[in-house]
Structure 1
Amino acid sequence: MNSSKKLLVGAALGVFGAAALSGCSPASGTAALVNGVAIPDSRVTAFSEGCSAVLQDTQLAQSPNELRSQMVTWAVLDEMSRQKAAQMDDPPTDTQLRDYVEQAGLNILLTDDRCAEAARGVARHDLIALGLGANTEPYFGGYTVELNPRYGSWDATNLDVSGSGSLSEIANS
């Protein structure tokens, strides 16, 4: 599997830790809650549309709806890493985030602002985890993630969406 595909389909796989899941469901229009901070469906839509646009002429071309479940994961990792970075004395810089994405050979993800935001969130998450080394439990275990049931459920062990939910696409209102 090439590095592009690894980032797209399994950015968070292999990462360990535990996050508590709440029995409550986020409100309509909300994709997820991370420690009570809402991730709006509009952010997931923007990530999906942006990454679909940059990948359209590649072997990894997917429609926004096909990317939606992965973009929910990316949005959660982005929010987790934003919250952790706000607590750090020396969080990853924008230059470090860009360099990380470029070193992975994924410059194309930075060519659309929407997809670039998603890619930087995953990069921030990865860099924080790498910087913590073996002491990742306070980071990974310190988050309550509530996923809107239409996307499935949050797999706290793998930090990923589990199942497809009732809809992994935009709800038709």
Structure 2
Amino acid sequence: MKPARLAPLLVVALVGCSPSPTVAAQVGDTTITTARVADIVAACPAVGTTQVTDSLALQTLIHAEIFREVADITSIKLDDKELRSILLADENFGPFLTQEPDCTDLLLAQAASTVLGAKGEPAQLDAALAQVQVEVNPRYGTWSTEKLGIEGSGSLSTPVTQG
């Protein structure tokens, strides 16, 4: 086959392997969409003095889903109503969320972490955490399982190093 005929096949193959542009991340069986990330940033542009960026919003949504997966694996109950109550009762978050209720979803991971820490054994939680698979759309960066965070520039291109 001539190289000119291979080019369209290569493009189709590459498009088939890339993540959907509407998917920001996949945590286990849960898909976090780019629309969900945009909604969080629009609803809550800042928490205190911290500007909420797409990357920060995505990272907190990933954490919330990771904690849900860990809770499922360890049979620890995480209830959204309970998590929201924990946030509202917190002296740091409560007053802020009373004024900015649209920011609650951004902080659910914090409450979930509190509940898991109180109800789970560290070794059990670590073992469950190791089972959770996270895949991030390359436009946001890459997922670091060691740091439990997004790393990198989020660029789809690789910078050329000068030699």
Q: Same fold (TM over 0.5)?
A: yes
How far has the Cα of 1:106 moved from its partner? 1.4
1:88–1:152: structure 2 CA closer, same or farther, 3 Å change rule? Answer: same
Structure 2 partner of 1:34: 27
1:148 equivalent to 2:137? Answer yes
SS at structure 2 position matched to 1:151: coil
Give the superposed CA RMSD: 2.7
1:98 equivalent to 2:91? Answer no
SS at structure 1 position matched to 2:31: strand
> Do 2:28 and 2:69's aligned partners in 1 also have CA atoms closer than 8 Å?
no
Query: Among residues 51, 64, 67, which one is paired with 1:81 in the alignment?
Result: 67
How far has the Cα of 1:125 moved from its partner? 3.3
TM-score, normalising length from structure 1? 0.65
Measure, in 2, the Cα distance between the counterparts of 1:110 and 1:85: 27
Unmatched runs of 5 consecutive residues or more in structure 1? 1-23, 168-173
How far has the Cα of 1:132 moved from its partner? 2.2
Measure, in 2, the Cα distance between the counterparts of 1:143 and 1:128: 15
Measure, in 2, the Cα distance between the counterparts of 1:159 and 1:109: 25
Give per-residue Cα distances to partners, 1:55-100, cap 9 Å, x unaligned. Answer: 4xx5x152x5xx2111111111111222333455441342354324
Aligned runs of 1:7-86 on 2, under 5 Å?
Answer: 25-52=18-45, 55=47, 58=48, 60=49, 62=51, 67-86=53-72
Which structure has the bigger radius of gyration? Answer: 2
SS at structure 2 position matched to 1:124: helix
Letter in 2 for 1:71: A
1:122 equivalent to 2:110? Answer yes
1:166–1:46: structure 2 CA closer, same or farther, 3 Å change rule? Answer: same
Measure, in 2, the Cα distance between the counterparts of 1:92 and 1:79: 11
Measure, in 2, the Cα distance between the counterparts of 1:98 and 1:84: 20
TM-score, normalising length from structure 2? 0.69
Aligned pair count reads 137
Unmatched runs of 5 consecutive residues or more in structure 2? 1-16, 157-163
Measure, in 2, the Cα distance between the counterparts of 1:110 and 1:95: 16
How far has the Cα of 1:52 moved from its partner? 0.9
> Do 1:110 and 1:116's aligned partners in 2 also have CA atoms closer than 8 Å?
no
Measure, in 2, the Cα distance between the counterparts of 1:160 and 1:104: 26
Measure, in 1, the Cα distance between the counterparts of 2:121 and 2:61: 23
1:133–1:145: structure 2 CA closer, same or farther, 3 Å change rule? Answer: same
1:148–1:132: structure 2 CA closer, same or farther, 3 Å change rule? Answer: same
